[in-house]
Amino acid sequence: MRAVAQATDGATLLKQRTLAMWVAQNRLAAAQVAAPWPAPGAREGEALQAGARFLWRESVSGTPNPSFRKIEITVSDPGVPDYALARIAGYLGQPPEK
58 Ramachandran zone, left/alpha/beta (phi>0; psi -120 to 50): beta
pLDDT given for residue 35 in this prediction: 85
pLDDT given for residue 53 in this prediction: 97
- Torsion, Cα 67 89 21 50, to 10 degrees, reads -30
Domains of the chain, by residue range, sit at: 2-93
pTM for the structure as a whole = 0.85
**Are 89 and 71 contacting, i.e. CB atoms less than 8 angstroms apart?**
yes
- Predicted confidence pLDDT, tens digits, the chain (98 residues): 555 455 556 788 899 999 999 999 999 999 999 988 899 999 999 999 999 999 999 999 999 999 999 999 999 999 999 999 999 999 999 877 76
CATH topology of domain 2-93: Pantoate--beta-alanine Ligase; Chain: A,domain 2 (3.30.1300)
pLDDT given for residue 37 in this prediction: 87
Neighbours of 26 (CB within 10 A): 15
pLDDT given for residue 25 in this prediction: 98
**Are 24 and 32 contacting, i.e. CB atoms less than 8 angstroms apart?**
no
pLDDT given for residue 9 in this prediction: 63
**Are 47 and 26 contacting, i.e. CB atoms less than 8 angstroms apart?**
yes
